[in-house]
Structure 1
Amino acid sequence: MKLTRKQVLAKAKASDLESVKKLNCWGCSLTDISIFTQMANIEVLTLSVNNISSLSSLAGCLSLCELYLRKNNIPTLSELSHLRPLTRLRVLWLAENPCCGTDSSQYRLTVLRCLPRLQKLDNQVVTEDELALALMEGEEVTTPPGGVQNQLSTNVLPDAETENDSLNYSMEETNKIREELGMKPFSRDKFPSLSSPSTRENKPSMKKTHTLDAVLLLLKDLDEEELLVVHTATQNRLQTYTMGSEMLLDSLKTRKTPEIQH
């Protein structure tokens, strides 16, 4: 069944598609959702319990923040490549689709590697540790044949990526961002192949490095207000560390030197 303009306007009680911000199409037996190519302003969309197999029509919904797709017929996680341009997407419910497979842990890591901006996946909050692990162990999601690569904006991942690029980004991309922030660029030894035995052995020690990389890579997608939040949080953290260092120095200064007994 195809979702039509008339159905959308009736459900949303709106006069035009551009004004629709929230839409609930739960359990409507939908197979064709091409109408969303005309709905760039949609923010919250419920499409659970339908027969949807492709997400290509959602690639232009750049205002989308929450997307509910539970119990559909999405065949592979490669369909998630259509959601990569949606930089505001924070909530995704994808469970009970064929693409989820039988390994729930690997499925989750792969989704988060593809969409690292998510804050909640399948009604479960995404933690910083989980995201860092996903960026190291999640599988790379490839674009399906005839995908949306030509439709996506500059938010899309670079075409020059290779299988050895850390975090599914190129070293050049990371270093460009580090230079913009006044930081020294990484050398090639910071980007070992994620498939090498030595890398797997050193995963715990690499965790903080990958977390930092992820933060730097996501900074470019933040607007002024969001950057101010990051700035304030950073200042608070630095103040905490400074206070701790000052207290330690004061303690050392006041500590009496023990007398040496002869």
Structure 2
Amino acid sequence: MGVASGYLGYAHRSAFDSFQGQGATMVRITENLIRQRAEHNNCEIFSLEEISLHQQEIERIEHIDKWCRDLKIVYLQNNLIPKIENVGRLKKLEYLNLALNNIECIENLEGCEFLQKLDLTVNFVGELTSVESLKLNVHLQELYLVGNPCCDFAGYRKFVIATLPQLKWLDGKEITRSEWIQALQEYPIVRQQVVEQQQTYILKRTKEKETVQKNLKDKENNKPDPGQKTENKKNNTTDEEYKGIKDIDEDEMNRKFWNEPTEYTPESRLEVHRHIEKMRKLKDKDKNQGKQKPQRIHITSEGRVLNVNEPKIDFLLTDDEENNQFILDLAVYRHMDTSLLDIDVQPTYVCVMVKGKVFQLVLPEEVKPDSSSAKRSQTTGHLLITMPKVQEVVKPKPKSTSRTQSATYSKSHTHVTRTTQHSEKLEVDPSKHRCVDLTNIVTERKSVAQGPIKFHQLKLPERNSDDFQDNPEVPALVD
């Protein structure tokens, strides 16, 4: 039995690896992908306890046992994973969901000491004796194997119940005590039946893999030269006619693929994925052909720097005249990791890369790049860039008097500030600066009347002056 099991594992890996190498791009688990799925944990991955990586077309489990040691729940359903690996270091793992994948053997879970639930629904587990590797998982209570080839074996349920006495639920059905006792009593006979059926299944799978490899070689040998095919079809045809022929060929190829009968195997499931990916790329290529956006220019050929805001984030540039510097406030996303920011301060402009997108702003004056600094708020996530100016301005500090202080205090409530454009009157001591007193040039007239207003009368010269001659013929001037 051990030899047969080992042969199955080797045959599976060789056939599956050769199939993966047929012009396919493997989807990997990257740090960026994990951070995107860790938004509920402020994008921190070292303290992550739950992660969902379902429907990502992932073809291998990797890195999570090194980057996320505290994981308790992992969702990896509906991917293309052929093997359980790189999860043995997750000591705190309690629930692992690998439903709808290409797994054929249960392995590498001995290190998951606190594993309580394992879901392998609709996979390709045909090596039923591999459940014996779960004996060391003493906390395992629920196991799901429904939809796997091993479920068709006679005595399947009794074998699993007797092999894993710690189980309480199998395929969503509770294990009763009487069922467990009966499974233990019939275990030797049931195990022998399971081993025989398993060997038959191994031979069947070996033939399937050989057939898959043969078909792949035939396709490679009979594959026409793409350049020759294009040249022949374009002879004596216009571009529109050739485009129509190309569309017909793609539709015919798609129809032929789906109408061709095939076995439901890990290789056929992966082939379906490759075909869908290929057709999607062809449609995207035809759709975007001739409609590609011109590349954005950040600096013209003449050396003129342009303002660019590709991430479309809010910003505020403040001229701090008191400290002779510019302050740029960028409203960066709060939960975005700081490692995704790249800051470049130049004498005449500042450039910030936000998740690969360019934010560029031309400055009104030259600044000192070496003296510039950047910091980020832990509450809002905003990025604050301080850039000292090259041209330093020295301004005298005005002397503050009690009168100006009181005026500033009274006007502070109405947001009125004193500026340098308004001159202040200075008090001069007359004793130190003597000058002509111009206030008494004109004699001040004093009122002579009390009560009703009386006009001042001019005083006439006296009649008995020496030069006066009285002429009786002249009438009197005043009655």
TM-score (norm 2): 0.27
More strand by share: 2
Q: Which has the larger radius of gyration?
A: 2
Higher relative contact order by CA 8 Å / sep ≥ 6: 1 or 2?
A: 1
Quick check: which one's helix share is greater? 1
